[in-house]
Chains A and B, each alone.
Chain A
Amino acid sequence: METYALLLAATLNAGTVLAIAALGLLINEKAGIVNLGAEGIMLCSAIAGFAAVVHSGNDWVGFAAGMGAGALLAAVFGVLVIWLNTNQYATGLALSLFGAGFSAFVGINYVQEKLPERPQFALPWLSDIPLLGSAFFKQHPMVYLVVAFAAVLVWWLYRTRSGLVLRSVGESPESAHALGYPVRRIRLAAVVAGGALCGLAGAYLAIIYTPLWVEGMVAGKGWIALALTTFATWRPARVLLGSYLFGGVTMLQFHLQGLGVDVPSQFLTMLPYVATIVVLALISRNPGWIRINMPGSLGKPFYPGA
């Protein structure tokens, strides 16, 4: 039983990486912008965060560095797609390719580096509960923060005026513009916020989850996070659930390997990717359902006054 409690704990931890990134991408997409650069952002912020911890010794400095790197890259992406009206897919792709190269380039000196001793986390009393304690209450604070953040995001998006404005910018930028909202600046703010969250996810990955730096270590998590927003039909709570589900799939491969299942490890490593494809196909099967839930102007450029 204890193994399963630990498996659940690991699932929550893995899901947290995906959830932070996917919630960030959700904010982007609610404002009508698809950022295919998530993978590149996560890679760059992973090395930024990792390097910051190596030099400062403080995890939170690392998180801040990751968020800063993510916000900066996203801002470049945002200015290109929002002001220069470049193609969102191509620009995001450029960011992913650049990020892969740049992170490998900068990170080469950090491949052998080790972080200071990782502290153990445990909530007082709660973590002493048998099974439940090791499953839920011996986690990094970020694991709880992301749940709180998702709750705040739900409230903000659906219960506040500014959340409504953000959604309107993604649904119908023309109407929002006609009402006098600065559509492009709102979109840029959303892109930067989303990028900062992707950056936080990358930093968490390199500082807490793995914790080390290897070239290409994000290994498709940015792309899976992108797929998660579709799986969740652009609902924050479902994004969170989906993230844990995929965290579980990631953990399942290690668990099966541990159990000594007689399947070559490569087929187990494939699992999250194959699962992404399968779930994407199942969810997308009904085009009408996707169309109803998708932000109306997702991926479409907006040029005011043209």
Chain B
Amino acid sequence: MFKLPLQLVPRAEVSRWWTFASPLLALLFTIIIGIALFAALGKDPVQGLRVFLWEPVKSGYALGELMVKATPLLIIALGLALCFRSNVWNIGAEGQFIIGGVCAGGVALLADAGTGRWIVLAVVLAGALGGMLWAGLTALLRDKFNANEILVSLMLVYVADMVLSYLVYGPWKDPNGYNFPQSKTFEAVTRIPKLFASSRMHMGLLLGLLGVAALWVFLFRTRAGFAQLVGGQAPAAARYAGFSSRRALWTALLVSGGAAGLAGGLEVAGPIGQITPYIPAGYGFAAIIVAFVGRLHPVGIVFSAVLMSMFYIGGELAQSRMGLPKSITGVFQGLLLFSLLACDTLMAYRLVFKRKTALTHVDIAQAATKNIASLATKERV
């Protein structure tokens, strides 16, 4: 059979250099494929690049919009980073985001003109609690019934979507809304405070950055964070050390669910301002990519959240300016994660060119030594 003259050789330890280089290489790959895609569709690749990479950062207003979309991605991805580091595969952040939005919206709808500003706090808390509850279901089923958290959390996305749909078509539909499936717009007091008058950027961004610091301290500077990682990644070692892997499971899901719910609450009471069927914008799924591209590291995630936000804005612009479907965002998101995973191979393996020509006597001698050594070990056992 046909054989490539390339071989992967395991590295003695994970290459630190490639840990940083891999996401950049993956981005480069994605851009190259993107250029090819634009060319294949008969669109100007230069305009394509401008729309995705320059337009989202070219002005103060554009940067503000970039941050508006980066905020939920950042917050959700921080939670997911903790989750994935604990070896818990919560892929239902989208559902937790929806339920967070629904709960926050429910509280916001209770407010009337006379309600005080404190209600914002209640709105945001309701969002976080809603997300925790939804992720808690997954944790419960995994903990008590050993049910696979990937499938349960994903199925709950569809259920959450139906809950939202029921509410906006049913009890929460605005009676004066010309029968559109959406709630009435929230009272001004319930809205998340904006950072500047001229932009839609809101307090959520600061919460997200606070989250970055909090996660960093928790993961790398506390005993509880260490116990969390060991509990998730090496249950046997954790048991030996007296760390609970059940606790790690619950923490991972409650924190990531809470974060996703918080993001949902901030989104609904922030830029959206009412409950509509369009609350799920795929942030929960995109945040999975954000978490991986950001190396599951709080600081890395800041950069990858901004990058993913550029993809979103670029997609919208590609639709309005170049007549391409908005779903091109999803194509690039998927491509980025694919390329990243492929490039990550270089962290643990070296790529070695190898000619087919037979083994040299040195190789044979080495192999023999290795064999004898391993035989000797077996003998001892």
- Alpha-carbon gap, A108 to B360, bound state (A): 57
Q: Shortest CB–CB separation between residue B228 and chain A, in angstroms?
A: 20
- A102 lies within 8 A of B158 (CB): no
* Residues of chain A with a CB closer than 8 A to B325's CB: 104-105, 108
* Residues of chain A with a CB closer than 8 A to B345's CB: 84-86
- Alpha-carbon gap, A149 to B25, bound state (A): 44
Confirm or deny: B344 has a beta carbon within 8 angstroms of a beta carbon on chain A: yes
* Residues of chain A with a CB closer than 8 A to B1's CB: 185
| Given known A267-B166, A280-B148, contact A93–B327 (CB-CB < 8 A) | no
| Given known A80-B338, A89-B89, A281-B147, contact A266–B166 (CB-CB < 8 A) | yes
- B152 lies within 8 A of A97 (CB): no
Confirm or deny: A174 has a beta carbon within 8 angstroms of a beta carbon on chain B: no
Which among A62-70, A241-249, A282-290 touches the partner chain?
Answer: A282-290
- For chain A, the bracket of interface size reads 35 or more
| Given known A80-B338, A84-B342, A280-B148, contact A270–B158 (CB-CB < 8 A) | yes
* Residues of chain B with a CB closer than 8 A to A280's CB: 141, 147-148, 151-152
- The listed residue (B145, B158, B335) touching A285 by CB distance below 8 A is B145
Query: In this complex, what residue of A is CB-closest to B328?
Result: A105
Q: Shortest CB–CB separation between residue B162 and chain A, in angstroms?
A: 4
The B250-268 residues at the A interface (CB cut-off 8 A) are none
Task: Produce 1/0 per residue, B328-341, CB < 8 A to A.
Answer: 11111111011001
Main secondary structure of the interface of A (DSSP, over half): helix
Given A86-B341, A102-B330, A105-B327, 17 new contacts (CB under 8 A): A91-B338, A94-B337, A98-B334, A101-B334, A104-B327, A105-B330, A108-B325, A220-B155, A223-B154, A226-B151, A227-B151, A266-B166, A277-B147, A277-B152, A280-B141, A282-B145, A284-B145
Query: In this complex, what residue of A is CB-closest to B170?
Result: A264
- B334 lies within 8 A of A287 (CB): no
- B327 lies within 8 A of A94 (CB): no
- A98 lies within 8 A of B150 (CB): no
- A98 lies within 8 A of B155 (CB): no
- A266 lies within 8 A of B10 (CB): no
Confirm or deny: A183 has a beta carbon within 8 angstroms of a beta carbon on chain B: no
Q: Which A residues are within 8 Å of any B CB, using their own CB?
A: 36, 40, 76, 80, 83-87, 89-91, 93-95, 97-102, 104-105, 108, 185, 215, 219-220, 223-224, 226-227, 230, 264, 266-267, 269-270, 273-274, 276-277, 280-282, 284-287, 290, 303, 306
Main secondary structure of the interface of B (DSSP, over half): helix
Confirm or deny: B198 has a beta carbon within 8 angstroms of a beta carbon on chain A: no
Residue among A101, A273, A280 with most chain B CB within 10 A: A101
* Residues of chain B with a CB closer than 8 A to A223's CB: 151, 154-155
Q: Shortest CB–CB separation between residue A131 and chain B, in angstroms?
A: 34
Confirm or deny: B289 has a beta carbon within 8 angstroms of a beta carbon on chain A: yes
The B273-298 residues at the A interface (CB cut-off 8 A) are 285, 288-289, 292
Task: Produce 1/0 per residue, B7-43, CB < 8 A to A.
Answer: 0101000000000000000000000000000000000
| Given known A104-B327, A105-B327, contact A98–B8 (CB-CB < 8 A) | no
Query: In this complex, what residue of A is CB-closest to B152?
Result: A277
Q: Shortest CB–CB separation between residue B263 and chain A, in angstroms?
A: 18
